[in-house]
Copies of this chain bind each other. A is one copy, B any other.
Amino acid sequence: MEFTRGNGMGNTSLHWRYAVKQFDATRKIPADDWNDIEESLVLTPSSFGLQPWKFIVVTSPDIKEQLQGASWNQTQPRDCSHMIAFAALKQVTEEYVDSFLQSVCDGRGVSMDTLAMYRQILLGFLKNQEGKHFEWATNQVYIALGQVMAVAASMRIDACPMEGIVRSEYDRILGLDGSQYGTVVGCALGYRHTDDKYALAKKVRFSRQHVIEYRE
């Protein structure tokens, strides 16, 4: 499974991408492409490998329109092909850690005993982060956001990262209220509308000299 469509990953992709303002609502991401996007989400690296997230994929026209209303009426959730709500785990419980370690045992064919020390390290870390689990999990979610935007661009799939959303409204609409997860950020994926003038705007970044410092 490699992305032979497009030009492959890299800076050409990163120059090509921009935060789409207007999606072409008639164009849908083909199933095989979407399959690759989902796999890249699953493969996202996270601290300790704990994957403290849920990715809610919204394609229902009705729910996408509700999400528009929960996004200051920005049209991307409604007009994109697939809208992802990135949700972070609110509290990393001992039970969660054990379910994670069980997945390691299952995946690698080792016994839980061999992970006893790792378990202690994890629980020590989490105790030390008490009260900040959601913030920590949110950081991990942003790794997923960064990766999926890069992967999508390499496939010439457009995206718009969306922080301008009402998280509590997203939680309500998506049925996350009362769950262990809370929405932190969104990402609309699909194809830019030919009328979207932002596609032509020159990309603006601080210079390399401004953002990179060296200790040589």
Which residues does A use to contact B, with CB under 8 Å?
1-4, 7-15, 17, 19, 36, 38-45, 47, 49, 51, 53-60, 63, 100, 103-104, 107-108, 135, 138-140, 142-147, 149-151, 154-155, 161, 163, 174, 185, 201-208, 211-216
| A37: nearest chain-B partner, CB-CB | B11
CA distance A75 to B94 in the complex (A): 29
| A214: nearest chain-B partner, CB-CB | B57
Q: Which residues of B contact A185 (CB under 8 A)?
A: 139
CA distance A163 to B51 in the complex (A): 14
CA distance A12 to B2 in the complex (A): 5
Q: Copy number of this protein in the oligomer?
A: 2
Listed by A's residue number, 12 A-B pairs whose Cβ atoms lie within 8 Å are: A8-B8, A10-B151, A10-B155, A11-B40, A47-B161, A47-B163, A51-B211, A54-B212, A56-B213, A58-B214, A60-B215, A108-B202
Residue in contact with A213 in the complex, picked from B14, B55, B140, B154, CB distance below 8 Å: B55
Residue in contact with A135 in the complex, picked from B7, B39, B135, B154, CB distance below 8 Å: B135
Closest CB of chain B to A181's CB: distance in Å? 9
Contact yes or no, A212 B55, CB < 8 A: yes
Contact yes or no, B213 A57, CB < 8 A: yes
Contact yes or no, B212 A9, CB < 8 A: no
Q: Which residues of B contact A44 (CB under 8 A)?
A: 146
Residue in contact with A36 in the complex, picked from B11, B17, B150, B174, CB distance below 8 Å: B11
CA distance A15 to B36 in the complex (A): 12
Given A212-B54, A213-B55, are A10 and B154 also a contact pair (CB < 8 Å)? yes
Contact yes or no, A7 B10, CB < 8 A: no
Contact yes or no, A19 B38, CB < 8 A: no
Contact yes or no, B213 A54, CB < 8 A: yes
Q: Which residues of B contact A53 (CB under 8 A)?
A: 211
| A46: nearest chain-B partner, CB-CB | B161
CA distance A204 to B2 in the complex (A): 20
CA distance A49 to B214 in the complex (A): 23
Contact yes or no, A216 B59, CB < 8 A: yes
CA distance A10 to B201 in the complex (A): 27
